[in-house]
Protein backbone atom coordinates (compact mmCIF):
# COMPACT_ATOMS: atom_id res chain seq x y z
CA UNK A 1 0.00 0.00 0.00
CA UNK A 2 2.83 2.39 0.91
CA UNK A 3 6.37 2.53 -0.44
CA UNK A 4 7.86 4.65 2.33
CA UNK A 5 5.71 3.80 5.35
CA UNK A 6 4.68 0.81 7.39
CA UNK A 7 1.03 1.00 8.44
CA UNK A 8 -0.78 -1.42 10.70
CA UNK A 9 -3.69 -1.32 13.10
CA UNK A 10 -3.76 -3.23 16.40
CA UNK A 11 -6.31 -2.87 19.18
CA UNK A 12 -7.73 0.39 17.76
CA UNK A 13 -4.25 1.99 17.44
CA UNK A 14 -2.67 2.80 14.07
CA UNK A 15 1.10 2.36 13.95
CA UNK A 16 2.73 4.53 11.28
CA UNK A 17 6.44 3.94 10.77
CA UNK A 18 8.44 6.05 8.33
CA UNK A 19 10.53 3.48 6.52
CA UNK A 20 13.45 5.03 4.65
CA UNK A 21 16.28 3.99 6.99
CA UNK A 22 19.01 4.38 4.34
CA UNK A 23 17.97 8.02 3.97
CA UNK A 24 17.50 8.43 7.75
CA UNK A 25 13.75 8.62 7.01
CA UNK A 26 14.15 12.00 5.34
CA UNK A 27 10.91 13.64 4.25
CA UNK A 28 10.57 14.03 0.51
CA UNK A 29 7.38 14.85 -1.38
CA UNK A 30 6.54 11.17 -1.76
CA UNK A 31 6.80 10.54 2.00
CA UNK A 32 4.75 13.63 2.76
CA UNK A 33 1.99 12.51 0.40
CA UNK A 34 1.99 9.04 1.94
CA UNK A 35 1.80 10.51 5.44
CA UNK A 36 -1.23 12.55 4.38
CA UNK A 37 -2.85 9.42 2.98
CA UNK A 38 -2.06 7.44 6.14
CA UNK A 39 -3.49 10.06 8.48
CA UNK A 40 -6.55 10.38 6.26
CA UNK A 41 -7.08 6.67 6.93
CA UNK A 42 -6.60 7.29 10.65
CA UNK A 43 -9.25 10.01 10.61
CA UNK A 44 -11.82 8.13 8.52
CA UNK A 45 -11.43 4.58 9.83
CA UNK A 46 -13.87 4.03 12.68
CA UNK A 47 -11.77 1.15 14.03
CA UNK A 48 -8.83 3.50 14.67
CA UNK A 49 -9.04 5.66 17.78
CA UNK A 50 -5.41 6.78 18.16
CA UNK A 51 -2.16 6.77 16.20
CA UNK A 52 1.52 6.30 17.03
CA UNK A 53 4.10 7.58 14.54
CA UNK A 54 7.76 6.57 14.68
CA UNK A 55 10.76 5.95 12.44
CA UNK A 56 12.56 2.83 11.26
CA UNK A 57 16.19 2.42 12.31
CA UNK A 58 18.29 5.08 14.04
CA UNK A 59 16.22 8.10 13.08
CA UNK A 60 12.72 9.32 13.70
CA UNK A 61 13.12 11.69 10.78
CA UNK A 62 16.52 13.30 10.20
CA UNK A 63 15.04 16.18 8.21
CA UNK A 64 13.69 16.97 4.79
CA UNK A 65 15.30 15.36 1.75
CA UNK A 66 18.09 17.84 0.96
CA UNK A 67 18.98 16.16 -2.33
CA UNK A 68 15.43 16.73 -3.55
CA UNK A 69 15.29 20.28 -2.20
CA UNK A 70 18.65 21.24 -3.74
CA UNK A 71 17.34 20.48 -7.21
CA UNK A 72 14.22 22.65 -7.09
CA UNK A 73 13.66 26.38 -7.65
CA UNK A 74 11.66 28.74 -5.40
CA UNK A 75 8.38 27.75 -7.05
CA UNK A 76 9.15 24.08 -6.49
CA UNK A 77 10.25 24.89 -2.95
CA UNK A 78 6.97 26.63 -2.26
CA UNK A 79 5.05 23.62 -3.55
CA UNK A 80 7.03 21.26 -1.33
CA UNK A 81 6.61 23.46 1.73
CA UNK A 82 2.88 23.82 1.05
CA UNK A 83 2.63 20.04 0.99
CA UNK A 84 4.51 19.82 4.27
CA UNK A 85 2.20 22.36 5.91
CA UNK A 86 -0.85 20.51 4.63
CA UNK A 87 0.40 17.30 6.27
CA UNK A 88 1.44 18.85 9.60
CA UNK A 89 -1.75 20.89 9.88
CA UNK A 90 -3.84 17.83 9.12
CA UNK A 91 -2.11 15.72 11.77
CA UNK A 92 -2.63 18.51 14.29
CA UNK A 93 -6.29 18.98 13.35
CA UNK A 94 -7.67 15.43 13.24
CA UNK A 95 -9.82 14.68 16.25
CA UNK A 96 -8.00 11.47 17.20
CA UNK A 97 -4.90 11.68 19.42
CA UNK A 98 -1.53 11.27 17.70
CA UNK A 99 1.54 10.26 19.70
CA UNK A 100 5.08 10.69 18.36
CA UNK A 101 7.43 7.91 19.51
CA UNK A 102 10.76 9.60 18.79
CA UNK A 103 13.34 6.85 18.49
CA UNK A 104 16.37 8.80 17.25
CA UNK A 105 17.24 11.92 15.27
CA UNK A 106 14.31 14.36 14.97
CA UNK A 107 15.90 17.16 13.00
CA UNK A 108 14.37 19.82 10.76
CA UNK A 109 11.21 18.36 9.28
CA UNK A 110 11.44 15.51 11.76
CA UNK A 111 11.25 17.85 14.72
CA UNK A 112 8.39 19.65 12.97
CA UNK A 113 6.54 16.36 12.42
CA UNK A 114 6.92 15.54 16.12
CA UNK A 115 5.63 18.97 17.09
CA UNK A 116 2.51 18.48 14.95
CA UNK A 117 1.61 15.46 17.08
CA UNK A 118 -0.39 15.82 20.28
CA UNK A 119 2.03 14.07 22.64
CA UNK A 120 5.75 13.39 22.24
CA UNK A 121 7.55 10.46 23.89
CA UNK A 122 11.30 10.34 23.30
CA UNK A 123 13.86 7.60 23.56
CA UNK A 124 16.80 8.59 25.74
CA UNK A 125 18.82 8.31 22.50
CA UNK A 126 16.73 10.91 20.65
CA UNK A 127 18.26 14.14 19.36
CA UNK A 128 16.37 17.28 18.37
CA UNK A 129 17.19 20.33 16.31
CA UNK A 130 16.23 22.80 13.59
CA UNK A 131 19.43 23.02 11.52
CA UNK A 132 17.97 24.79 8.48
CA UNK A 133 20.02 27.97 8.82
CA UNK A 134 23.12 25.85 8.16
CA UNK A 135 21.66 25.30 4.68
CA UNK A 136 20.71 28.89 4.00
CA UNK A 137 17.00 28.38 4.64
CA UNK A 138 14.58 28.47 7.58
CA UNK A 139 12.27 25.82 9.03
CA UNK A 140 9.46 25.33 6.57
CA UNK A 141 7.07 22.72 7.95
CA UNK A 142 5.79 24.87 10.82
CA UNK A 143 8.91 25.09 12.97
CA UNK A 144 8.93 28.88 13.32
CA UNK A 145 5.35 28.71 14.59
CA UNK A 146 5.01 25.53 16.67
CA UNK A 147 8.40 25.65 18.39
CA UNK A 148 7.80 29.04 20.08
CA UNK A 149 4.41 27.82 21.24
CA UNK A 150 6.00 24.80 22.89
CA UNK A 151 9.24 26.16 24.34
CA UNK A 152 8.77 29.94 24.33
CA UNK A 153 9.82 32.60 21.86
CA UNK A 154 13.39 33.18 23.08
CA UNK A 155 14.27 29.48 23.34
CA UNK A 156 12.84 28.91 19.86
CA UNK A 157 14.99 31.73 18.49
CA UNK A 158 18.03 30.24 20.18
CA UNK A 159 17.44 26.75 18.79
CA UNK A 160 16.65 27.92 15.26
CA UNK A 161 19.31 30.65 15.01
CA UNK A 162 22.14 28.54 16.46
CA UNK A 163 20.98 25.27 14.85
CA UNK A 164 21.92 23.67 18.16
CA UNK A 165 21.17 19.96 18.53
CA UNK A 166 19.82 18.95 21.93
CA UNK A 167 19.37 15.61 23.63
CA UNK A 168 16.17 14.10 24.96
CA UNK A 169 16.65 15.29 28.53
CA UNK A 170 17.12 18.88 27.40
CA UNK A 171 14.09 18.55 25.13
CA UNK A 172 12.10 17.40 28.17
CA UNK A 173 13.45 20.23 30.32
CA UNK A 174 12.31 22.92 27.90
CA UNK A 175 8.93 21.33 27.21
CA UNK A 176 9.54 19.99 23.73
CA UNK A 177 8.67 16.42 24.78
CA UNK A 178 6.40 15.11 27.52
CA UNK A 179 8.28 11.95 28.46
CA UNK A 180 11.75 10.36 28.07
CA UNK A 181 12.17 6.59 28.36
CA UNK A 182 14.85 3.96 27.68
CA UNK A 183 15.07 3.09 23.99
CA UNK A 184 13.77 -0.43 24.46
CA UNK A 185 10.66 0.88 26.24
CA UNK A 186 9.72 3.55 23.69
CA UNK A 187 6.85 1.88 21.84
CA UNK A 188 5.51 0.34 25.05
CA UNK A 189 5.47 3.79 26.66
CA UNK A 190 3.63 5.29 23.66
CA UNK A 191 1.17 2.40 23.69
CA UNK A 192 0.53 2.85 27.40
CA UNK A 193 -0.38 6.50 26.84
CA UNK A 194 -2.57 5.61 23.84
CA UNK A 195 -4.40 2.87 25.74
CA UNK A 196 -4.94 5.17 28.72
CA UNK A 197 -6.58 7.68 26.36
CA UNK A 198 -8.61 4.93 24.66
CA UNK A 199 -10.17 4.04 28.00
CA UNK A 200 -11.69 7.54 28.20
CA UNK A 201 -14.83 8.85 26.50
CA UNK A 202 -14.00 9.14 22.77
CA UNK A 203 -16.20 12.17 22.16
CA UNK A 204 -14.72 13.98 25.16
CA UNK A 205 -11.20 13.27 23.86
CA UNK A 206 -12.08 14.58 20.39
CA UNK A 207 -13.75 17.70 21.78
CA UNK A 208 -10.81 18.29 24.13
CA UNK A 209 -8.27 18.20 21.30
CA UNK A 210 -10.33 20.50 19.09
CA UNK A 211 -11.07 22.95 21.88
CA UNK A 212 -7.44 23.23 22.98
CA UNK A 213 -6.23 23.65 19.39
CA UNK A 214 -8.85 26.23 18.45
CA UNK A 215 -8.67 28.15 21.70
CA UNK A 216 -4.90 28.33 22.06
CA UNK A 217 -4.49 31.57 20.13
CA UNK A 218 -7.67 33.21 21.39
CA UNK A 219 -7.79 35.66 24.24
CA UNK A 220 -9.14 34.29 27.52
CA UNK A 221 -12.65 35.62 27.04
CA UNK A 222 -13.03 34.09 23.57
CA UNK A 223 -11.42 30.85 24.72
CA UNK A 224 -13.80 30.63 27.67
CA UNK A 225 -16.76 31.12 25.36
CA UNK A 226 -15.43 28.35 23.14
CA UNK A 227 -15.12 26.05 26.15
CA UNK A 228 -18.74 26.73 27.16
CA UNK A 229 -19.93 25.57 23.73
CA UNK A 230 -17.60 22.57 23.73
CA UNK A 231 -18.70 21.54 27.23
CA UNK A 232 -22.33 21.80 26.15
CA UNK A 233 -21.61 19.52 23.19
CA UNK A 234 -19.99 16.92 25.45
CA UNK A 235 -22.94 17.12 27.84
CA UNK A 236 -25.28 16.11 25.01
CA UNK A 237 -23.44 12.83 24.29
CA UNK A 238 -24.43 9.32 25.34
CA UNK A 239 -20.86 8.99 26.60
CA UNK A 240 -21.68 11.62 29.24
CA UNK A 241 -24.68 9.62 30.45
CA UNK A 242 -22.68 6.38 30.49
CA UNK A 243 -19.64 7.91 32.20
CA UNK A 244 -21.64 9.51 35.00
CA UNK A 245 -23.85 6.45 35.45
CA UNK A 246 -20.79 4.22 35.72
CA UNK A 247 -19.26 6.54 38.31
CA UNK A 248 -22.39 6.50 40.46
CA UNK A 249 -22.79 2.74 40.05
CA UNK A 250 -19.09 2.13 40.83
CA UNK A 251 -18.39 0.25 37.60
CA UNK A 252 -16.18 0.64 34.54
CA UNK A 253 -17.86 2.75 31.82
CA UNK A 254 -18.68 1.25 28.43
CA UNK A 255 -18.25 4.20 26.08
CA UNK A 256 -19.78 3.97 22.59
CA UNK A 257 -18.43 7.10 20.89
CA UNK A 258 -21.90 8.67 20.72
Here the contacts of 2-9 (C-beta below 8 Å, separation 24 or greater) are 2/34, 2/37, 2/38, 3/30, 3/34, 4/30, 4/31, 4/34, 5/31, 5/34, 5/35, 5/38, 6/56, 7/38, 7/41, 9/45, 9/47, 9/48
Does residue 170 have an active-site annotation?
A: no
CA distances (Å), 251 to each of 40, 70, 242, in order?
35, 59, 10
Residues 34, 56, 132, 191: which is the catalytic one?
Answer: 132
- Note the Cα 22 to chain centre separation in Å: 23
Q: Which of 130, 133, 212 is nearest to 171 (CA)?
A: 130
Residues 37, 112, 169, 184: which is the catalytic one?
Answer: 112
Determine the Cα–Cα distance for residues 57 and 83; give it in Å rounded to an integer.
Answer: 25
Does residue 191 have an active-site annotation?
A: no
Q: Which of 53, 58, 93 is nearest to 190 (CA)?
A: 53
**Which residues are identified as catalytic?**
112, 132
Amino acid sequence: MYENLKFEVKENIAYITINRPKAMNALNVEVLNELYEAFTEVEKNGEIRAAIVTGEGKAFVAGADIAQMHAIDPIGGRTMIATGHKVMNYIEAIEKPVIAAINGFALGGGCELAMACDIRVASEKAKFGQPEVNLGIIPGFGGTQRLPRLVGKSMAKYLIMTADMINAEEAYRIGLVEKVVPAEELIDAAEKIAKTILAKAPIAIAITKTTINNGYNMDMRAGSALEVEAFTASFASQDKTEGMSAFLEKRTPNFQNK
